[in-house]
Amino acid sequence: MIDMTQDGVTVISESTDNQEMAISQHAQAVGVLATKLGYDGTLSVGALEDGIRFYQLRTAESCFEMGKRLLLLKEMTAHGEFSKRVEMLGFSKRMAQKFMSAVLKLSNANSSSLLQKAGTQTKLLELISLDDDEIQVIEEGGSIGEVNLDSIETMSVRELKQALRDAKADNQAKENIIKKKDEKLNELDAELTKLQAPAKVKERAETEQQQLAKSVLEKIQESTLTLYNDITRFVNACQAVAETIEEHGLYHLQEQYEMSIVASFQQIAELSTTLGVQIDFENMVTPSWANQAEQN
């Protein structure tokens, strides 16, 4: 809008006012984010970039501080500009995202002890794979698998990575087994319901049968869960050994490594005879439909 006066032309721009208001609101939002993150430094692009460079050290605390500044820098820069500035700072976009994720995940917890125990950026960035609830358990002195405040401090990065992988595998296996168990129990309940009769004696007998079946099913499912977890650990251990052989060139151990695995699976195959269960291992590995598909 333009206001004409006798002394000249006075320009009153509503768009300029709107821009100034938007800038003010954005500055307030940045200030709120800084307070939430516990950042008390200067809020300027230059100061934030200087801080990021300062904290480019191999410590967990510096990783946390860099993450704060990266979050604020992203908030303060225009769309598309943040990625360019991150590249100029020597970060990959993926690494910058990890630093920011570490802050967002750990800023909600009393994470001073976890930062102290992690010690290095590499360990801290491995720990952000944990869920918020799992991080809280560790902060409160508990354990997730073999991962706790004491073990985090003493483990190497490779050991911590393996322990986190095992913990995730255990949790996933438990969830899968529980889900399958519930499905089987539901199927069993439905089948037994169909067999119920008005007679009280038969009804009582079916109830007892249902309880017995449930107990038997729970026992085999529990054993299956134990075996599944052991197999998962076995596979993870084998993968770790294979990586070590490849990494250090220990190829003279390859044959012994493979023989050990073959012997383990031979023992598993022999269990089918011991348990009296016929298993067509060849068809499991190469199903008949796969052979037919190759012939066609």
Dump pLDDT digits (tens) for 217-231. Answer: 888 888 888 888 888
Span 55-65, pLDDT tens digits: 654 577 777 88
Alpha-carbon gap, residue 141 to 146, rounded angstroms: 12
Residue ranges in the chain modelled with pLDDT below 70? 1-15, 55-58, 107-113, 115-120, 132, 171-177, 181-182, 184-205, 285, 287-296
> Chain centroid to CA 228: how far?
20
3-state secondary structure of 8: strand
What number of residues does the chain have? 296
In degrees, rounded to 5, the angle at the alpha carbon of residue 72 between the alpha carbons of residues 67 and 74 is 95
Alpha-carbon gap, residue 81 to 73, rounded angstroms: 10
Q: What pLDDT, on a 0 to 100 scale, did the predictor assign at position 2?
A: 44
pTM above 0.85, yes or no: no
For residues 184 and 217, the answer to whether their CB atoms sit within 8 Å is: yes
Q: What pLDDT, on a 0 to 100 scale, did the predictor assign at position 112?
A: 60
> Chain centroid to CA 133: how far?
12
Alpha carbon distances (Å) from 62 to 50, 112, 162: 13, 13, 24
Give the closest residue to 222 by CA, choosing from 179, 181, 279.
181
As a three-state string, the secondary structure of 41-53 is CCCCHHHHHHHHH
Structure tokens at 258: 């493979």
Alpha-carbon gap, residue 164 to 147, rounded angstroms: 7
Q: How would DSSP label each residue in 89-153?
A: TT--HHHHHHHHHHHHHHTTTTTHHHHHHH-SHHHHHHHTTS-HHHHHHHHTT--BTTB-HHHHH
